[in-house]
Amino acid sequence: MTLSLARLWAVLVKEFIQMRRDKVTFVMMIGLPIMQLIIFGFAINSDPRHLPTLVEMADTGPLTRAVLEGMRTSDYFEFQGVVTSPAAGDRALRDGSANFVVVIPKGFERDVMRGLRPALLLSADASDPSASGAAVAALGGIVDQAVADTLAGPLAQKAASPAPVQVTIHKEYNPEGRTSTNIVPGLLAIIMSMTMVMITAVAIVRESERGTMEALIATPVRPAEVMVGKIAPYILVGYVQTAVFLLAALWVFRVPFLGSWWAFFAGFNLFIVANLALGFLISTLSRNQMQAMQLSFFSLMPSILLSGFMFPFAGMPPWAQAIGSAIPATHFLRLTRKVMLKGAGIADVTQDMAGIAAIMAVIVAAALLRYRQTLD
Amino acid sequence: MSDLAISVRGLTKVFGGRRVVDGFDMDVPKGAIYGFLGPNGSGKTTTIRMMCGLLTPEAGDGTCLGFDILRQSQEIKGRVGYMTQRFSLYEDLTIRENLDFIGRMYRMKDRGARVDRALVDLGLAERAGQLAGSLSGGWKQRLSLAACMLHEPELLMLDEPTAGVDPKARRDFWDEIRRLSARGVTVLVSTHYMDEAVQCDFIAYIAYGRKLISGTPKDIPRLVGLQTWVVEAGEVGTLEAALKADPDVAQVARFGAMLHVSGTDEARLEAVRQRHPGQWQKLDGGLEEAFIWLMSGAQDNFAGPAARGGA
Ligand SMILES: Nc1ncnc2c1ncn2[C@@H]1O[C@H](COP(=O)(O)OP(=O)(O)OP(=O)(O)O)[C@@H](O)[C@H]1O
Ligand SMILES: [Mg+2]
């Protein structure tokens, strides 16, 4: 049967007019991403400093003092005092009064001089891995610097590689080294998952809730014309959101953009369409706008929790990774981080694009199956 | 090509296990004005939706303008104008935008001219830029009507088109319907107004999803088997009470200072007239009485299945 471009266009134009007249939604479409950016970008500080730290000193000397001084001036660690036993250190970590315990082992100074490469131990509270990540990552450099400074002059040859002090870290930490630079690119995936899905779902359900669907499908219009015509205007909304996001990311949060703009452009177009299709699917499952809203929020939860936005993807159990892989945001988030932070080009992100495309195909198929051209 | 615009057999629709339309048959001749009557919730809207392809019947089949209602709904939709019972144009579009949108859905060539003409005919030309949602109820009805006639359909299905429309506009509307019918357009119209029912060429009466009766407005009272007499009296209230208490009277309806007294039996009505002396006059027609009679019966019938279902 023949599809009519003119009819599709008419649905699209109508949708635009309605969008323009719905002031509240319009403001939300632009305001929400900005608000989220501010909250996640500024308020949620994923690169915290001045974390409470305790020291267990079994030795002391110029090197120990230099290491501790280096930690203090790094701003990451704030020394709260000294513990006298490992048990006291564990207790402090457990009850949260300290995030870190530094252990200077017995005979530390002497062993360094003898070239025995003793281990400096840092126990980190990993219950909030994102809180300690940056501090832990910085420690290696601090210690090396302290050693280099102290062993200057007559002892300089001791400072040559291999490093005279080993740094041992207890507890896992986020391998990606989470910083605000890392969170902002991920945020785009979340913002779009939220607004795109919800706006489309609501716009379509509104049609049946207000009864206008009955008149619409009494005309010879075809389902594909309705689907594309209703979805297409929101692609433009996605563009606007992305533009706002990029402006803020690059100029307010100073996130670098190292990779290929083309890779980014291709990826976000695909991602927008996938989200709109999901919104369409949700609309076929909802009876009214309230349900559409709730379902959209429901679909957002895994995007936030399992996409690698909140917790490092690699650290999740296999079942969670499996669910995460079925979420478009997971792939888009990887793509954005790769492109913006790691300088990826089109060739580096084909796998992520394929992931989004595959999920999208399933969603579109399900939506078309669910979409009725009748009122049954 | 048959001379029937609509011909359906055994249409059945089930909602949540309840047969809201049950074995519905109907033949509507081309060019006829066909009235569709029945109490609230009897299945009129559901039947119309099935005939224009908006609902899939559980059983039954038929044709609409010669096209199969199950398989050719696309062809049907292009040739039918359907006016929904509930206002279903876009409240946040202007009057002109709405008409224009409908015009585009039917891919009309001379869309602009038709929309302009419709606006002038409606008398809304000056208000074309107003949002449809800001119109009064009656005006919304008139706009919907104009919208469903924009593509000059061969068959109009109008679901209570004049609900809430003022008497003058209703008369204009029926004049228009008769003009269309004279041109060969078939009109299926559901209504609760008797003065509209009598203007139809045929009437079908539906209750609890079944068609109870169909025929011309003249035939219906005879088919129902109801006779009606009019009586005038000074003390209408007293007489009304007395007649209502009379076991030989089936139904009493008050029209100002007059009472319409109906019964199913010639001899018993005669006896009633003897018992209550007054100015008695035989009423011919009596369509409204017939429908009220049918509807009071339908309520009983409805209570029956419901009670059984609950037991
Ligand atoms: N989508 C639906 N889902 C469930 N039940 C429905 C649905 N549509 C209609 N019904 C039920 O079907 C029955 C017939 O409804 P319908 O709207 O056809 O009646 P109607 O004759 O048009 O009544 P009215 O004169 O009030 O417009 C009603 O009992 C109604 O509750
Ligand atoms: Mg109805």
Question: How many angstroms separate the CA atoms of A247 and B216, rounded?
Answer: 73
B76 to chain A, minimum CA–CA distance in Å?
8
- Number of residues that make up chain A: 376
Task: Tell me which chain B residue has its CA closest to the CA of residue A7.
Answer: B105
Q: Number of A:B CB contacts under 8 A?
A: 76
Within a domain: residue A41?
no
pLDDT band at A128 (very low <50, low <70, confident <90, very high): low
Residue B172 in tokens: 């204009």
Task: Please check whether residue A369 lies inside any domain of the structure.
Answer: yes
Is residue A40 one of the residues assigned to a domain?
A: no
Residues of B whose CB is below 8 A from A214: 49, 54, 84, 86, 88
Regarding whether A163 and A122 lie in a shared domain, the answer is yes
Q: What is the C-alpha separation between B20 and B302, in angstroms, rounded?
A: 11
Residue A14 and residue B93: Cβ atoms within 8 Å?
A: yes
Angle, helix A289-305 to helix A328-342, in steps of 10 degrees: 50
Give the pLDDT band of residue B304 (cuts 50, 70, 90). Answer: very low
Residue where one domain finishes, among candidates A144, A172, A200? A172
The residue from A156, A172, A188 where one domain ends is A172
Exposed, middle or buried: residue B3 (CB in 10 Å: 0-12, 13-18, 19+)? exposed
- Residue A281 inside a domain? The answer is yes
Task: Write out pLDDT tens, residues A207-255.
Answer: 888 889 899 999 999 888 888 898 888 888 889 889 988 888 888 877 7
Which domains are delineated in chain B? 4-79+153-217 (3.40.50.300), 94-147 (no CATH), 227-284 (3.30.70.920)
Integer Cα distance of A356 and A332 in angstroms: 7
Quick one: A142 and A224 in the same domain?
no
CATH number of the domain residue A124 falls in: 3.40.1710.10
**Quick one: A248 and A217 in the same domain?**
yes
Ligand number nearest CA of B192 is 1
Q: How far apart are CA B79 and CA B278, in angstroms?
A: 55
Q: Does the structure show a pLDDT above 70 at A1?
A: no
Count the domains in chain A: 2
Mean pLDDT score of chain B: 88
- What is the largest distance, in Å, between two alpha-carbon atoms of chain A? 93
The rounded distance, in Å, linking the Cα atoms of B78 and A221 is: 9
Residue A254 inside a domain? The answer is: yes
Whether A108 is covered by a domain: the verdict is yes
pLDDT tens track for B124-165: 889 999 999 999 988 999 899 999 999 999 999 999 999 888
- Token pair belonging to B154: 């061969």
B102 touches chain A (CB under 8 A): yes
Task: Please say whether the beta carbons of B124 and B73 come within 8 A.
Answer: no
Rounded to whole angstroms, the Cα distance separating B305 from B256 reads: 37
Residue A182 has pLDDT above 60, yes or no: yes
What is the average pLDDT score of chain A? 81
Sheet holding B18-29, edge to edge: B18-29, B4-15, B59-64, B67-68
Phi, psi at A374, each rounded to 5°: -125, 180
Residue A160 phi, psi dihedral angles, 5° rounding: -65, 160
B97 contacts A215? CB cut-off 8 A: no
Q: With an 8 Å Cβ cutoff, is B107 touching chain A?
A: yes
Same domain, A240 and A352: yes
Shared domain for A116 and A162, answered yes or no, is yes
Domain boundary residue, one of A120, A149, A172? A172
| Cα–ligand 1 centroid distance for B99 (angstroms) | 28
**Same domain, yes or no: A120 and A158:** yes
Q: Is the ipTM of this complex over 0.95?
A: no
Three-class SS of residue A229?
A: helix
Say yes or no to pLDDT of A199 above 90.
Answer: no
CB within 8 Å: B86 and A211? yes
Nearest neighbour of A220 by CB, restricted to B78, B87, B131: B78
pLDDT at position A180 is 55
Show the domain range for A89. Answer: 51-172
- Residue-wise pLDDT for A147-157, tens only, equals 777 776 555 55
- Does residue B88 belong to the interface with chain A, where contact is any CB pair within 8 Å? yes
Report phi then psi at A343, rounded to 5. 70, 30
What is the residue-wise DSSP string for B238-258? Answer: HHHHHHHH-TT--EEEEETTE
Look up residue B3 and give its amino acid. Answer: D
Supply the pLDDT for residue A304. Answer: 87
Residue B141, min C-alpha distance to chain A (Å): 13
Let me know: does B126 contact B95? Beta carbons within 8 Å.
no
- Cα B263 to ligand 2 centre (Å): 30
Residues A139 and A184: beta-carbon distance below 8 Å: no
Q: Supply angle C-alpha B267, B271, B275, rounded to 5.
A: 170
B110 touches chain A (CB under 8 A): no
* Rounded CA separation A271/A275 (Å): 6
